[in-house]
């Protein structure tokens, strides 16, 4: 298949395929009649990259995962997965804290008090006023 068909099969653009090739994540086949031809293994690898990205792995980590795929090093693959899980858990915690703060600010904003809405103040960078408003919402 051509690079365009490979890209479509992997759900990416042609430039993404070329980028992955430059990074060494995907191979660059030789030309057959002036056209590079890709096979099912290339599609599998491209899909692997996309799925690993969706799981939150960085391209450098994906490179290592691809190398581990060839060596069957389950211990290292598991360590990478556990590190990614810890990073995701930390991000989820941060997002939950942000959600809770926004929920408090939305409550205070809905109280109809005088002055600007605490949400707008918080987004303008006046964190002291936003913190005061958020504190009132918890009271």
CATH number, position 43: 1.10.1660.10
The two structure tokens encoding residue 100: 């809770």
Inside any domain, residue 13? yes
Task: Identify whether the C-beta of residue 21 lies closer than 8 Å to the C-beta of residue 12.
Answer: no
Q: Are 16 and 56 a contacting pair, CB within 8 Å? A: no
Q: Which segments of the chain have a pLDDT < 70?
A: 125-139
Residue ranges making up the domain that contains 66: 1-72
What span, in angstroms and rounded, lies between the C-alpha atoms of 83 and 91?
Answer: 12
How many folded domains does the chain comprise? 1
* Residue 138: per-residue pLDDT: 45
| DSSP E strands, the chain | 31-32, 35-36
Distance CA 71, CA 39 (A): 22
pTM for the structure as a whole:
0.63
């Amino acid at each position: 298949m051509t690079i365009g068909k490979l890209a479509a099969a992997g759900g990416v653009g042609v430039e993404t395929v070329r980028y992955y090739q430059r990074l060494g994540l995907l191979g660059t086949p030789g030309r057959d009649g002036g056209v590079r031809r890709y096979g099912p293994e290339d599609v599998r690898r491209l899909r692997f990259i996309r799925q690993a990205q969706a799981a939150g792995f960085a391209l450098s980590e994906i490179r290592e995962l691809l190398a581990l795929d060839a060596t069957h090093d389950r211990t290292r693959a598991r360590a990478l997965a556990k590190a990614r899980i810890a990073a995701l858990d930390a991000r989820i915690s941060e997002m939950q804290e942000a959600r809770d703060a926004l929920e408090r600010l939305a409550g205070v904003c809905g109280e109809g008090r005088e002055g600007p809405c605490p949400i707008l103040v918080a987004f303008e960078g006046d964190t002291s006023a936003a913190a005061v408003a958020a504190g009132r919402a918890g009271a």
